[in-house]
A and B are shown apart, each in its own frame.
Chain A
Amino acid sequence: MAILQVQHLEKHFGKTQVLKDISFELEKGRALAIIGSSGSGKTTLLRCLNFLETPTHGKILVEGQTLFDAEAPATQKESKVRKKRLHFGMVFQSFNLFPQYTVLKNVTLAKELLAKERPDYKANKKQILEEIAQEGRSLLQKMGLEDREGHYPHQLSGGQQQRVAIARALALSPDILCFDEPTSALDPELTGEVLKVIRSLAEQNTTMIIVTHEMAFARDVADQAIFMDKGVIVERGSARQVIDSPREERTRQFLSRYSKS
């Protein structure tokens, strides 16, 4: 069964409809690329999955469980939403690292706060915190940042910052990791190091949704791809098929602009 099911999702901002009847599924261990021009609703879709926006209609299910149902207000309670968010991890275009914390603390903070809710926290506080720090260090090592744990975000390059952000999202072991244009805010020479990290995550069968403008990267790394335009899914299929041989005219137009530039 699919780990993620999105059914008939719609989102209105006032009178403008940003998402129209979006439905798709994602299998565990697979990577999904969402492509499309800016304003097509890709980012809004990711934000809906992370409960940063409340969809106007539709349902979101993870492992068969209904996380969100626009018709059932009970699924939208702030207290419940908080825990539901943990099914998803989010990597932002602008990193959004916490500037006042060191790299390691950025990675471990959320986990430490969650650990406080554990019944055995008081008794084993020291040990728990040590474990969390250890996990944080090994994540940083995976990102090639083991020598940067004591630095503050402003002391790092953009690419390094985004890798910290990925480690931070991974620290909570989400079921699905979402990337919102992870390289758009980076200088071209820094995108490579971030894409490399995402590629290696894909190789380890991390379930991912990647909103990106890097077409070649999407084709190589993602299993599936969705092309969105004006809030609707225009075309879906394997990443290779959608990007290399699109069936829809709108997809072809969009991609041709990329190959030209």
Chain B
Amino acid sequence: MPWTPFYQMAEFFASDQFRTVLNALNSGFLVTLELFCVTLLGALPLGLIISFGSMSRFRPFGWLASQFGLTPKGRVAKAICAFRPIRLVTRLLVWLVRGTPLVLQIIILFYVPGMLDLFTWGGGETARFTAVSVAFVLNYACYFSEIYRGGIQGVPVGQQEAGQVLGMTKSQIFFRVTLLQMVKRIVPPMSNEIITLVKDTSLARVIALQEVIWMGESFMKGNSGYSGLVWPLFFTAVYYLVFSGVVTILLGKLEKKLEFFR
């Protein structure tokens, strides 16, 4: 019978095992989705703040000197006056975060505070989720900040100057002139990062956050009365494919939407 495999498949999809596994994977995927959303909501604005920090021209000593009408003469004095602490600190942060693996950051962030008796994240899933969220937001904000910086610096200076000579304030220039042009520039690289984020959420299971892959793996050891099952782990790929597919379509729509200008 040529139809037999289809019947077998239908039978499998209707089985209790399939339903139980699907329920577990769904609950795991919900955690994945939450982590994805929290990371985006946190990292998109935080990245902007960090990118401003990394472009900061604030020079406290140079400013002080100019207030007293002094011009730095020696090499040391010039270096001190040119010192930009905010830029230095943010670029150092970006280096630290981008220069180390996210997995390591999650482990350090979750375990080290308690080991040093600084604070604990508390017990249970919420604590793990909070710690992982902080790690993800920080990590992705740093990556986003560099993309933003490229985007902002990629908008021609003439655009800012045109705003200036028309009497616009700094914030008007940013929000009315630069922002949308920057967004258009950063959508393709951001899409890349966001798709990576979809999959990076699986790193959270290193501290036992029960996201979808954790749930898939759990059936190998045993979960809800089933043990020694491998297929749930492989089946999680379906979730990621659908998820990243949807994200790709949405970002593609955004890109299309921004095609009205060049």
Judge if B156 is at the interface, Cβ distance under 8 Å: yes
* Contact for A110 among B156, B167, B261, B262, CB less than 8 A: B167
Judge if B224 is at the interface, Cβ distance under 8 Å: no
CB contacts (< 8 Å) of B166 on chain A: these are 85, 109-110, 168, 172
Check A99 against B165 for contact (C-beta < 8 Å). no
A98/B159 contact (C-beta < 8 A), A113-B172, A152-B260, A154-B262 known: yes
Check B165 against A50 for contact (C-beta < 8 Å). yes
Judge if A100 is at the interface, Cβ distance under 8 Å: yes
A100/B261 contact (C-beta < 8 A), A52-B164, A85-B164 known: yes
Distance from B232 Cβ to chain A, minimum over Cβ atoms (Å): 47
Distance from B160 Cβ to chain A, minimum over Cβ atoms (Å): 9
Judge if B180 is at the interface, Cβ distance under 8 Å: yes
CA distance A169 to B260 in the complex (A): 24
A99/B172 contact (C-beta < 8 A), A52-B165, A92-B158 known: no
Restricting to B162-212, which residues have a CB under 8 Å from any CB of A?
162-170, 172, 176-177, 180-181, 184
Check A96 against B261 for contact (C-beta < 8 Å). no
Judge if B161 is at the interface, Cβ distance under 8 Å: yes
- B-facing mask of A168-200, CB < 8 A → 1, else 0? 110010000000000000000000000000000
A100/B180 contact (C-beta < 8 A), A154-B261, A154-B262 known: yes
CB contacts (< 8 Å) of B180 on chain A: these are 100
**Which chain B residue shows the least CB distance to A50?**
B165
A82/B165 contact (C-beta < 8 A), A99-B181, A99-B261, A100-B261 known: no
CA distance A83 to B167 in the complex (A): 6
Check A88 against B168 for contact (C-beta < 8 Å). no
Check B262 against A86 for contact (C-beta < 8 Å). no
CA distance A90 to B165 in the complex (A): 7
Check A153 against B164 for contact (C-beta < 8 Å). no
CA distance A178 to B191 in the complex (A): 42
CB contacts (< 8 Å) of A97 on chain B: these are 162
Distance from B40 Cβ to chain A, minimum over Cβ atoms (Å): 24
Check B162 against A153 for contact (C-beta < 8 Å). no
- B-facing mask of A233-261, CB < 8 A → 1, else 0? 00000000000000000000000000000
CB contacts (< 8 Å) of A98 on chain B: these are 159, 162, 176-177
* Contact for A85 among B165, B260, B262, CB less than 8 A: B165
Judge if A216 is at the interface, Cβ distance under 8 Å: no
CA distance A172 to B165 in the complex (A): 10
Distance from B19 Cβ to chain A, minimum over Cβ atoms (Å): 50
CB contacts (< 8 Å) of B163 on chain A: these are 110
Restricting to B238-262, which residues have a CB under 8 Å from any CB of A?
260-262
**Which chain B residue shows the least CB distance to A101?**
B261
Chain A interface (Cβ < 8 Å from any Cβ of B) = 50-52, 78, 82-83, 85-86, 88-90, 92, 94, 96-100, 109-110, 113-114, 152-154, 168-169, 172
Closest 10 CB pairs of A and B: A110-B166, A96-B162, A96-B158, A90-B165, A154-B262, A99-B261, A100-B261, A100-B180, A86-B167, A50-B165
Can you name 29 A-B residue pairings with CB atoms under 8 Å?
A50-B164, A52-B164, A52-B165, A78-B170, A82-B164, A82-B168, A85-B165, A85-B166, A89-B165, A92-B158, A92-B162, A94-B158, A96-B156, A96-B158, A96-B159, A97-B162, A98-B159, A98-B177, A99-B181, A99-B262, A100-B180, A100-B184, A109-B166, A109-B176, A110-B166, A110-B168, A153-B261, A154-B262, A168-B166
